[in-house]
Amino acid sequence: MAEPNLKSIQSRRKKAQSEYDSHKPLRDDAFDYAIPYRRSANTGSTSKGASRVDKAFDQTAIVSNFRFAGKLWKDLIGDEPFQIKAGDILPQKEKDELAGPLEGISKVSTGMMSNGEFDMAFVEMGLELGAGTGAMLILEGNRKKPARFVCVPIDEVLLEAGAYGDITGIFWGRKWTVRAIREMFPDGKFGKTLRDLEEKDPEKEVVLNQDCIYNSKTDRWDFIAWSPEDDETIIKTKSSRTCPWLTPRYFRVPGEVYGRGPINLAMPSIKTLNTAQRLTLQAAAISLLGIYTAVDDGVFNPDMASVEPGEFWKVARNGGVLGPSVQKFPEPRLDLNNIVLNDLRMGVKTTMMDQALPPDSGAVRSATEILERMKRLAEDHVGAFGRLVKEIIVPLAERLIEIAYDKGMITDAPDIDQILVKIQVSSPMATARAAEKMQKIIQWIEMCQALLAQDARKVVKMVEALLHIGSEMGVPESLKVNADERKKMEEDDRAMLAAQMAAQSGLVPGAAAAVPTEAEAG
């Protein structure tokens, strides 16, 4: 690849930094109240070992976001997130010929995700996707781990949007030791500053920028590694057909690069709940220890009175004839606070799709309520399904196919154009959607059989219909009878039928009937 223009990359990174900074208030709110354990310790915003929950008084949003990430994995990934299929435009004969090889590519690609590293990285990415945007880096690995999956904290990543609203630039910056940078790029080119540090202080941490930019002229992704310590020297460059990054956005506000998610939708309730919980805890402490008034001859100054449990306020009198020497304030009503808190918690859980069925020990719920809640659970993520497929499943499949081809695990890496070769999403959510669509075909078949009985075969291509249903629902090709096997079965059936007819007529199967001679006839 041609040497990239580092000045241009630095200019684009600066523009992406400006976009990143405009989203900082939204991101900080999410980190403070919902995903405190995803704020990177490498950016300087927090330190290693920090508690991170100093501003959170209620854990509802934190727990619900963990459930959101787990549910997203279950709905969108599951056991098999995608299959490579022949395009719908191809004749059926060509589809049958391509089915086997494409299924082999699918098994190799999905097999590279089955070592647990992808699941771990996806759930971590899902935690940040709840706040709108996630990031995962997919790199070529070694023999034991052909593909490596790394979830990168979103506060370390800058994004650049293209002409169609998609991501065309990913800029990742993090501090590494000079020794680690050399291990990552053993043949990398170091500038004078890095060479001196490598020789004198290899454990010194410096910023390493790893930028990935789409090149529209070559239709490839260019990777550029460089450090601000030597801002005129490129350490390493590399080109690939696919983007090594997944940067999904749950939904996007027009004009913005970064996405927004359920955490942003629930943030008003999250903040209100957090404040209400803090006031409730203060009220509980006051109720437990109390605030008391004490008689004083001076003038009471409320600005100097501390609103803390166990405090004594000096007042001129506590009642008639100065009243008692010490008097406790009335206790706050905690029961009213709990009603407000429960309503707020339910609102946060509903917005963040944390709607587990009620426990068996809880209040009795009607069957209708249970069915409606199960239906709502099944419809979660439907609004964002298209964007999640476009920004997670499709680039994931393309990236894994390229890695498998480069490592010699497959002999061909077909271009995915959704016309000749397509990616068919086979996750649990997609399977449920396909089953709902296939239900119409099944109802039509049942109606034809009910009305026409044996004549239904004149209307319905039963075998083709069932094969189509199986294909749409992601049934493996190995479980389907192919055309050659079906032809042999039909020939065997005809031979068996002929043998049965011959046995009934007294003829030996396969033998010609004896023709009587003239003498025998006479």
CA distances from 288 to 305, 339, 472 (A): 19, 20, 63
Helix (H, G, I), strand (E, B) or coil at 488: helix
Question: What pLDDT is recorded for position 521?
Answer: 46
From the centroid of its chain, how far is CA 352?
A: 14
Neighbours of 502 (CB within 10 A): 14
- Dist. CA 208–CA 181, nearest whole Å: 8
DSSP 139-162: EE--SS-SEEEEEPPGGGEEEEE-
Three-state helix/strand/coil letters over 199-260 = HHCCCCEEEEEEEEEEECCCCEEEEEEECHHHCCCEEEEEEECCCCEECCECECCCCCCCCE
User: Which one, of 484, 7, 487, 473, lies nearest residue 234 by Cα?
Assistant: 7
- The two structure tokens encoding residue 342: 């429960």
Question: What pLDDT is recorded for position 385?
Answer: 82
- Dist. CA 216–CA 239, nearest whole Å: 13
- Dist. CA 138–CA 134, nearest whole Å: 13
Neighbours of 401 (CB within 10 A): 26
pLDDT tens track, the chain, 522 positions: 667 788 999 999 999 999 999 999 999 999 999 999 998 887 767 777 777 888 888 889 999 999 999 989 988 898 889 999 998 898 888 888 898 899 999 999 999 998 899 999 999 999 999 999 999 999 998 888 999 999 999 999 999 999 888 999 999 999 999 999 999 999 999 999 999 999 999 999 999 999 999 999 999 999 999 999 998 899 999 999 999 999 999 999 999 999 999 999 999 999 999 988 888 888 777 777 776 665 555 555 656 777 676 677 676 666 666 666 556 666 666 565 666 788 888 888 888 887 765 555 555 555 555 555 555 555 666 668 889 999 999 999 999 999 999 999 999 988 888 899 999 888 877 777 777 778 888 888 889 988 888 888 889 888 888 888 887 777 777 788 888 888 888 888 888 888 888 887 765 555 444 545 544 444
User: Which one, of 351, 159, 169, lies nearest residue 256 by Cα?
Assistant: 159
| 84 strand-pairing partners | 423
Question: What pLDDT is recorded for position 512?
Answer: 47
Query: Exposed/middle/buried for 64, CB within 10 Å: 0-12, 13-18, 19+?
Result: buried
Question: What pLDDT is recorded for position 468?
Answer: 83
- Dist. CA 293–CA 313, nearest whole Å: 4
